[in-house]
Amino acid sequence: YELKNLLALYNGLVEFIEGSPVYQSDLERVCATKATAIFILANKATNNTKAEDAVQVVRALAVHRVCDHPVRIIVEVLDPTTQTSAVWDETQSGRIEIICPAKLHFKMLSRSCVVRGLYTLIGNLFTSKIKLTNDSEYEFLTEFFHSYDNEIYPVILPNSYHNLTFEEAADHVYLTFDSILFALDVPIKHKRKAHIVNKVLIYPRGHIIEPEDIGLVISRDIKTAFSISNQGNQGLQKRFCGSNIVEKSYHEPPDMIEIEKPTESVIDRWKRTGTVTTLNTNRDSINPTENNSNSDELRAFPLNPDGTYKLETHLRTAIHESQLDGSSATTDDSTTKSIDSSNIHINNVDNPLIPSWLNKHFGDGKQTSPSTINAEMPSTSTQTVPKKSQHSMSLENATEKLLTWPPLSTYGQPHPVVLERRADIILKDLKEKTLAIVELSEPHILLCCQGTWPNHLFYFIKGLRRLNNFHPPIVILFPFEPSPEQWGLVGIFKNVYLIRGSPIFELDLMRGGVLQAEKVVIFANLGSSVGSFTAQQVQDHTRYETQVKSTYVSDVDNILVAANVDRLVGDKASSVLMVEMQHTIGFDYLRPQFGILRSRANEFCSRKDYDRNRDALLHLGPPFMEGRATSPILLGFLMRSTFYNRNTVSIVEQMVDGGYIEEDGCLSDNRNERTLEQIPVPEHYANRPYIDLFMGLLHKKEMLAIGLYRTKGTLGSPTSYVLTNPPKNCIVNSTDMVYVFT
C-alpha cells in the first residue's frame, strides 16, 4: 500500500520494476548501463548490520561488473568498517561511492554538544524541502523560513573572480547576491606526493582563485547560483573593506538567465567522478587521468591512516623487519624501509631484537632489552615454549605491544582481536570506572541509554576528544553491565565513567549528575527494526531474563526521560538537553510544543508538496529548530544530495571534523585547523545590521560568518532557533551566537 501511494504521488516520474541488482538480466531490463547513477540503499531496519552490509557489497560489485565507467554507483552501508574493506581495492575507478550515514550521525551529534544547533544547521542546508508559499504571522517563523530556504550549490566562478583572493570573492558574492561563498573545490598538489587531487577547501583564507576552481555557495535558490556564474567577465576592482558597509550594491538577478559556457576542462572535472589530475611543471597544464593507482581520491584507505588500517600497517612493518638479516638491518639503510614509507618512518637501531619503529612509543628513546619487554608483557601460556630466533622473539613481542588495551598508539577504534584478547583487562577497567554517584570537579556530559548500548558510541566520544578542544568528563547511565566488546571501544578514552541505572527514574538521573551536567544526551534504541521486537539478554538473570521492547516504546521512553530532565533542570534544559529519536514523529511530543505547523500546514505549503514530504514540517518544529531533537533518518539527504553535489559527504565531514588547509600551494596534512565554531556576538556589533557583523568578521577577525543561533524570546519565539545566512538588514542581538569558520 505504501509503495502504491508513493508511486501515485510521483505519477510519471517514478516507476517500480521488481528484480535484484545481483542478476545481470534484471540490470539489463532496467537499462542500468544507460543510467546516470545507481543508488544501492541499505535496509536500515535490519537487526544485523554486518549481514546487510555483506549484501550491499555483493550488490555493488554486481552492478560494477555490468555497468560501464560513466555510471556512478552510490552505495549506502551501515557499518563504518565496511567503508575501508579490502573488497573495494579492485574497484578503484572512482565510480563506487560509499556512504555511511551512521558514523556521520554520531559525529554530528557529538559536535552539537559544543556547537549548539549544528545538526539543524547542516540538516537545513542539505535536506530536500517543501516550498513555503506564505509568510507566517509569527515573525520568528518568517525568519526561520528564510533560513530553511538556503541550500548549498556549486557555481562556476566567472573570469572576473580569477586572481582575486578568496576573501575578495566572498565579499563581492555576499554584497551582490546575498549568498555566502564558503568553500572552493580546487585541484591541489599533495604535500608529500607528486600528483594533484581535487579537494574541497572550506574557507581557504588567502587562496588566489584560478580558472580550475569551483565555488560552493549558500544561497536561497539555484537561480541566484546561475546568476553568479553568469556575471560579466570584466575585472572587479579590488578594494579594502575596512569600514562598515550598510548600503548594499545588490542588483536583482534577471528573470531570464543565459549562462555562458565556462571552460570545458572545469565542466568536465565537475561532472567526472573520482577524476585525478597528474602534476606537471606548470599548474595551468593539467591532464585528467583515470584509474591512477596512486590517487588519494581513489584509495579505499584514508590519507592519514587511522584505526584498523594503521594497526595492520604497523604489524606489516614488524613482520617485514623480522625477516631482515640481523647484520644487514643495522648496516643497510635501504633494507629497513617500511612497506608504506609515506606513513611509517623507521629508524635504524643497533639492537635487532626490537623493531625500530617501536622505540618512539615506549620509554624515553633508550634501547629496550628483550628481558625488559618479556617482564612487561603477561605470559600467554604455561607450556614450555620452543627456542626461537631473535627476530621471531622480536615479532612476538611487537605483536603483543600492538595488541595492548588501551592502545599504546593512536589506532582509532580498537580492533576486535584486541577486544577479545584483552577482555579481562577491559572488565577490570570497567569495574574501576563504575561509580555509585557522580562527584566530579568539573561539569560533565551525561549520556542516557535506556535501551540497547549505542553501536557507534566510539565516534561520539572521539568527537569530544578533539585536539584544541575542551575534554569534559563523560558519564554513561545504562541499566546493564556493558560487555567487554562494548566497553573496550569507549574505555580507551580518559575520564569516561559508567553508572548502572535507568534514566527513566529521576533518582538515577540525579545519581548520574544531571543537575551538574554541561550536556545531557539521550540515545535512542537504534539496534532494532521498526515496528518489531527484540530481546536483550542481561547477566543478572535473577532480576532480568529478557527485555522485550518495540522501537516505538523506545521513543516513548526517550520522551519520558526528556520530560524528567526538563522537570529536574528547569529552564536550563533548553541549552542542556539533546534527544535522539528513532522515528521523527516523536519530535511532536518533545517540549516545547508548537502544534500550529501541522494543523495549518495548508497555509505554508501546497498540498502536493506536503503529501510528498510530510517529514519536512519537522524542520519547522521547535525541538528541531533549537537543535534539541535529532534522528538518523534525517541523514537521508546524504544520498539524494550526493547525486547533485558529489562533495556532499566531504563538506559535511569537514564542517564536523575540521577542514583541509592549504600551505604553500600544497594540501597540508594538518586537519581540524579550519573548523566551524560558535562565538558570542562581539559587543560593538550588537544591535546593528547583520551585514556589519559579516563584513567585520571577514576583514578584521579572519572569520567567515554563515549564520546565527538566536535565543528564546527573539521576536516572540518560544524556543531558540538556527538562522542560516540571515538577511543583511537583520538586527543582531547581544544574546545571539554566531556560526563562523575560523
Helix 648-657 and helix 118-126, axial crossing angle in degrees, nearest 10: 170
**Look-up of cell digits 566488546:** 485
Q: Strand, coil or helix: what is 577?
A: strand
For residues 334 and 670, what is the distance between their CA atoms, to the nearest angstrom?
Answer: 29
Angle at 642 between CA 636 and CA 643, to 5 degrees: 110
What residue ranges in 594-725 does DSSP mark as E strands? 629-630, 662-663, 666-667, 676-680, 704-710, 721-724
43-57, 281-295, 463-477: lowest mean pLDDT where?
A: 281-295
Question: Do 76 and 104 form a contact (C-beta atoms < 8 A)?
Answer: no
For residues 100 and 111, what is the distance between their CA atoms, to the nearest angstrom?
Answer: 17
**C-alpha separations of 80 from 126, 133, 681 in Å:** 22, 40, 38
**Amino acid residing at 278:** T
Average pLDDT over residues 101-118: 95
**Who contacts 382 (Cβ-Cβ below 8 Å, separation ≥6)?**
none
Helix 166-177 and helix 222-229, axial crossing angle in degrees, nearest 10: 130
According to the per-residue pLDDT averaged within each range, which of 599-603, 627-631, 733-737 is highest? 733-737
DSSP result, 4-21: HHHHHHTTTT-------T
404-448: per-residue pLDDT in tens? Answer: 998 877 767 888 889 999 999 999 999 999 999 999 999 999 999
For residues 665 and 285, what is the distance between their CA atoms, to the nearest angstrom?
Answer: 16
Q: Which of 556, 728, 711, 525 is nearest to 625 (CA)?
A: 711
Task: Supply the pLDDT for residue 680.
Answer: 97
Average pLDDT over residues 64-73: 87
Task: Work out the number of other CB atoms within 10 angstroms of the CB of residue 28.
Answer: 12
pLDDT exceeds 60 at position 477: yes
For the chain, what is the largest distance between any 2 Cα atoms, rounded to a whole number of angstroms? 86
For residues 206 and 662, what is the distance between their CA atoms, to the nearest angstrom?
Answer: 9
Q: Which of 639, 624, 465, 496 is nearest to 97 (CA)?
A: 639
In whole angstroms, how large is the CA radius of gyration of the chain?
28
73, HSE (Cβ side, Cα atoms, 13 Å):
25
Q: Which of 262, 384, 389 is nearest to 322 (CA)?
A: 389
Question: Do 481 and 500 form a contact (C-beta atoms < 8 A)?
Answer: yes
Domains of the chain: 2-99 (3.40.50.720), 307-379+391-402 (no CATH), 416-590+628-640 (3.40.50.720), 676-741 (3.30.70.1450)
Average pLDDT over residues 363-369: 41
Beta bridge pairs of residue 533: 550
**Amino acid residing at 67:** C
Average pLDDT over residues 667-674: 72
497-514: per-residue pLDDT in tens? Answer: 999 999 999 999 999 999
- Strand 737-741 to 676-680 pairing: antiparallel
pLDDT exceeds 50 at position 210: yes
Beta bridge pairs of residue 537: 546
pLDDT exceeds 70 at position 260: no
225-239, 276-290, 373-387, 561-575: lowest mean pLDDT where?
A: 276-290
DSSP result, 383-430: SPPPP--HHHHHHHHHHHHHT-SS-SS--SSPPHHHHHHTHHHHHHHH
